[in-house]
C-alpha cells in the first residue's frame, strides 16, 4: 500500500476534530494522522504525545527531553511516563533502535511507528533489535525473560518463565500490569544467531492485555512468550521462528497474520496449560492465517510440526489457516519418544485448515492431532470467548482489542 492521499488525510483530520476530546485512546483516523510523516511529526498527534527521534541531540539532558517530549530512545520515553492509570501515546520516528524495552505501568499505552502505510507492515521503518539468548553452555542459564526485545509485565517475577510443570511461582499478591497496550507498525527482532541457539525472545508479556497490529516479530527459538495471566492479540502481523516459537501459559490469538518457519525444530507451538479452580481457555489460537516457510530455498517439505505439548494441558488450535507443504503429514507431534506428554486432556487441534500442508489421513494416522467439528470449535471460535478477566473463569475481556484494524 502506498502513501495515503491528501484527500484522505484531510477527511481524517475533519473527522478527528469532531471526536470527543475526552477519548483516551486513538481512533483509526487519529492514529493515521499521527503516524503519517509531516515536517512537524507531532502536528497530527493528540496533545501530550511523546516523540522518539534517534537524531535528537546527544547533549540533551533527560529532564530537558521530558520537558520537550522528545527522546532519543524508546525506553527513555517509556520511563518518563508516570506509573499510574493515565493513557499515553508515543510516536517513534524511523530508525534502528538497539535496545530492550520494558513496560511495567498499568495505564493504557500506545506505541506508534511512523509510516506512510499505517494499514500495512510492508513499509515499517521502526526496527527494534536485541541480540541475546540463554539456556546453553555458550549463552549461560539466565531465565528466558532476560533475552526479550520487548517485555510487558508489572514486575520481574511476573515475567519469569521458570521451570517445572508450573513454571516460576509468581507471588499471589502481584498486581495486574498494563490493561491496554497497543503497538502499531513496529518490527521486533532478536538476532542472536541465524539459527536456534537457545531461547531468544522477541516478545514477553505477562499479567497484561496487549494488542499488536501490523507488527513483525522475528527470532529462531521461543520468539513469542505469553506468560501467566497474559492476554495477547495479534492481527495483520508476521511472526517468524524455528523452534517452539509460540509458547507460554496465557492466551494468544493470532488473526490474519503470517506464521513464518525459518526452519524446523520442536514445533511452532509449545504451550503449558494450568489447572485452575475455574474452567480456563489458556492457549494459542491461530485463525485465518498463513503458515509458510520463510523462503523457497529452505528444504523443509513435510518436516515442520504444528506444535508439541510443553505439558499435557497444552492447548493450541489452527483454524481456517492455509498451510504450505512444510507441515508434517501428522500435523502435531509428541514432546519426545520417551516423554510424550499427550493425554486425553491435551488439545492440539485443527479446524478447517487447508493447503498443501493439510493431510486429513496423515492427521488421523498420526494419532496426536485432533480434527475438530464445528461444534467442538465453537467454544473457542472468537477472541471474546477465550480472553478471560484475570483470575476468573469469565470470558469477554476484549475491551483493549482494536477491532477496526483490517
For residue 83 the three cell numbers come to 506509573
Q: Range of 137's domain?
A: 89-386
Is residue 5, in this structure, part of any structural domain at all?
Answer: no
Total structural domains in the chain?
A: 1
Is residue 260, in this structure, part of any structural domain at all?
Answer: yes
What would you report as the CA-atom Rg of the chain, rounded to the nearest whole angstrom? Answer: 21
Rounded CA-CA distance 313/281 in Å is 11
Is residue 262, in this structure, part of any structural domain at all?
Answer: yes
* Contact predicate 114/127, CB 8 Å: no
Is residue 43, in this structure, part of any structural domain at all?
Answer: no
* Contact predicate 258/289, CB 8 Å: yes
Is residue 379, in this structure, part of any structural domain at all?
Answer: yes
Is residue 4, in this structure, part of any structural domain at all?
Answer: no
CATH number, domain of 322, equals: 2.160.20.10
Confirm whether pTM is higher than 0.85: yes
Measure Cα distances from 203 to 31, 239, 245, 256 in Å. Answer: 23, 10, 10, 19
- Which residue in 329, 380, 324 sits closest to 351, CA to CA? 380
Measure Cα distances from 123 to 51, 115, 163, 384 in Å. Answer: 20, 7, 39, 30
Tens place of pLDDT per residue across the chain (406 aa): 444 444 444 344 333 333 333 336 899 999 999 999 999 999 999 999 999 999 986 545 566 566 679 999 999 999 999 999 999 999 999 999 999 999 999 999 999 999 999 999 999 999 999 999 999 888 999 999 999 999 999 999 999 999 988 999 999 999 999 999 999 999 999 999 999 999 999 999 999 999 999 999 999 999 999 999 999 999 999 999 999 999 999 999 999 999 999 999 999 999 999 989 999 999 999 999 999 999 999 999 999 999 999 999 999 999 999 999 999 999 999 999 999 999 999 999 999 999 999 999 999 999 999 999 999 999 999 999 999 999 899 999 999 999 999 7
Is residue 230, in this structure, part of any structural domain at all?
Answer: yes
Rounded CA-CA distance 108/28 in Å is 16
Rounded CA-CA distance 368/23 in Å is 48
Is residue 167, in this structure, part of any structural domain at all?
Answer: yes
Amino acid at each position: 500500500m502506498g502513501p495515503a492521499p491528501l484527500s484522505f488525510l484531510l477527511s481524517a483530520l475533519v473527522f478527528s476534530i469532531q471526536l470527543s476530546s475526552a477519548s483516551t485512546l486513538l481512533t483509526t483516523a487519529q492514529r493515521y494522522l499521527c503516524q503519517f510523516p509531516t515536517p512537524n511529526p507531532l502536528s497530527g498527534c493528540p496533545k501530550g504525545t511523546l516523540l522518539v527521534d534517534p537524531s535528537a541531540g546527544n547533549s540533551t539532558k533527560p529532564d530537558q527531553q521530558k520537558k520537550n517530549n522528545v527522546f532519543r530512545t524508546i525506553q527513555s520515553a517509556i520511563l518518563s511516563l508516570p506509573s499510574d492509570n493515565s493513557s499515553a501515546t508515543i510516536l517513534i520516528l524511523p530508525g534502528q533502535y538497539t535496545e530492550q524495552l520494558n513496560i511495567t505501568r498499568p495505564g493504557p499505552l500506545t506505541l506508534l511507528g511512523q509510516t506512510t502505510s499505517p494499514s500495512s507492515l510492508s513499509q515499517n521503518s521502526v526496527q527494534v533489535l536485541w541480540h541475546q539468548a540463554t539456556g546453553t553452555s555458550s549463552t549461560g542459564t539466565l531465565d528466558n525473560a532476560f533475552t526479550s526485545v520487548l517485555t510487558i509485565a508489572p514486575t520481574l517475577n511476573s515475567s519469569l518463565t521458570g521451570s517445572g510443570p508450573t513454571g516460576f511461582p509468581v507471588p499471589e499478591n502481584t498486581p495486574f500490569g498494563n490493561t491496554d497496550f497497543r503497538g502499531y507498525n513496529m518490527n521486533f527482532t532478536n538476532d542472536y544467531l541465524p539459527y536456534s541457539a537457545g531461547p531468544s525472545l522477541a516478545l514477553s508479556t505477562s499479567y497484561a492485555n496487549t494488542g499488536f497490529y501490523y507488527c513483525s516479530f522475528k527470532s529462531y527459538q521461543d520468539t513469542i512468550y505469553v506468560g501467566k495471566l497474559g492476554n495477547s492479540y495479534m492481527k495483520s502481523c508476521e511472526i517468524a521462528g524455528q523452534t517452539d516459537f509460540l509458547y507460554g501459559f496465557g492466551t494468544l490469538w493470532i488473526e490474519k497474520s503470517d506464521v513464518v518457519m525459518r526452519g524446523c525444530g520442536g514445533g511452532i507451538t509449545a504451550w503449558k496449560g494450568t489447572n485452575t479452580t475455574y474452567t480456563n481457555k489458556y492457549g494459542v489460537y491461530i485463525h485465518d492465517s498463513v503458515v509458510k516457510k520463510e523462503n523457497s530455498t529452505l528444504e523443509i517439505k513435510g518436516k515442520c510440526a504444528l506444535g508439541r505439548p510443553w505439558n499435557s494441558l497444552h492447548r493450541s488450535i489452527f483454524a481456517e489457516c492455509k498451510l504450505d507443504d512444510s507441515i508434517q503429514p501428522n500435523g502435531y507431534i509428541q514432546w519426545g519418544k520417551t516423554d510424550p506428554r499427550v493425554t486425553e486432556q491435551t488439545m492440539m487441534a485443527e479446524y478447517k485448515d487447508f493447503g498443501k500442508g493439510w493431510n486429513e489421513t496423515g492427521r488421523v494416522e498420526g494419532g496426536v492431532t485432533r480434527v475438530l467439528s464445528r461444534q467442538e470449535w465453537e467454544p473457542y471460535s472468537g477472541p471474546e470467548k477465550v480472553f478471560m478477566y484475570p483470575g476468573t473463569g469469565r470470558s469477554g475481556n476484549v475491551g483493549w482489542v482494536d477491532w477496526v484494524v483490517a
